[in-house]
Amino acid sequence: MKKLMTLTLIGLICSLGTVAADDQWHTIFDGKSLKNWDGNPKFWSVQDGAITGTTTKDNATNGNTFIIWKGGTTANFELVLDFKIQGGNSGIQYRSFKKGGKNDGWRIGGYQGDFEAGDRYSGICYGEGFRGILSDRGFKTTLTMVDGKLQKKAEKFGDSKEIGKAVKKGDWNNYKIVANGFHFEHYINGVKTMELIDNDEKTRRADGLLALQLHAGPPMVVQFKNIKMRVLK
């Protein structure tokens, strides 16, 4: 694992064209183009300085689709970005993987910082193609595999509805994700939404892709900007 983390750090530093201290922040979206990002051009573009995913009645996606950061991978890191969503559901994939089988190449699974236009899921940790809801809003969840079955120990630290009030609907919000070892935390607008400790040694992931989601379903628009990341030791 030490070797994997070292290679990941080297890949991130090289992709950013600079050698810097581990705790230095790096901007990974230039606000003007999709350089180092790969998504289906039918749905993804840059509008108003933001990565923008759009579906319409006449241009719908057949299944969830993603735009993938090609500048490196994510292991131990802190990520911050601003998001805005109109309709539907979206999320931020990290330590993720490309799904196998026949598909268009933009299908991703793994840990997800979820958010939506509704009231239920913003801030949770969802396992896209990867064990479902891993930690709900307002809970610190520990995952453990016991006799071949996934066990969840959920300790409540806050009320989901109260935490959800931190989300500004139809407006810009700030999302922070911290992944350090197998300890994960999500924050929206400075409010902690969930905590996860993943002790499922067979399935958990130490490294993987960063990607942004455009969900299948009714027409929607999702935007991302001010995307910054730093590597944690």
Domain ranges of the chain: 2-231
pLDDT, position 23: 74
CATH of domain 2-231: 2.60.120.560
Q: Under a CB-based contact definition with an 8 Å cutoff, are residues 86 and 218 in contact?
A: no
**153 sits in which H/E element:** strand 149-156
pLDDT, position 113: 98
pLDDT, position 10: 42
pLDDT, position 233: 83
Computed on alpha carbons and rounded to an integer, the radius of gyration of the chain in Å comes to: 17
Helix boundaries (H) for the chain: 2-15, 160-164
Those residues whose C-beta lies under 8 Å from the C-beta of residue 115, and which sit 6 or more positions away, are 83, 85, 89, 90, 91, 121, 122, 123, 167, 173, 175, 188
* The amino acid at 225: K
HEC states along 159-176? CHHHHHCCCCCCCCEEEE
Where residue 175 falls (left for φ over 0; alpha for ψ -120 to 50; beta otherwise) is beta
What are the φ and ψ backbone dihedral angles of 226, each rounded to 5 degrees?
50, 50
d(CA 230, CA 223): 21
DSSP letters for 64-104: -EEEEE-S--BSSEEEEEEEEEESSEEEEEEEEEE--SSS-
With b meaning 16 or more CB within 10 Å and e meaning fewer, what string describes 10-32?
Answer: eebbebbeeeeeeeeebebbeee
For each of the chain's 233 residues, which pLDDT tens digit applies?
Answer: 444 444 444 445 434 433 344 579 999 999 999 999 999 999 999 999 999 999 999 999 999 999 999 999 999 999 999 999 999 999 999 999 999 998 999 999 999 999 999 999 999 999 999 999 999 999 999 999 999 999 999 999 999 999 999 999 999 999 999 999 999 999 999 999 999 999 999 999 999 999 999 999 999 999 999 999 999 98
Of 162, 119, 118, which is closest to residue 138 (Cα–Cα)? Answer: 162
Those residues whose C-beta lies under 8 Å from the C-beta of residue 2, and which sit 6 or more positions away, are none
pTM of the shown model: 0.91
SS3 content of the chain, % helix, strand, coil (to 5): 10, 50, 45
pLDDT, position 82: 99
What are the φ and ψ backbone dihedral angles of 161, each rounded to 5 degrees?
-65, -40
pLDDT, position 78: 98
What are the φ and ψ backbone dihedral angles of 185, each rounded to 5 degrees?
-140, 140
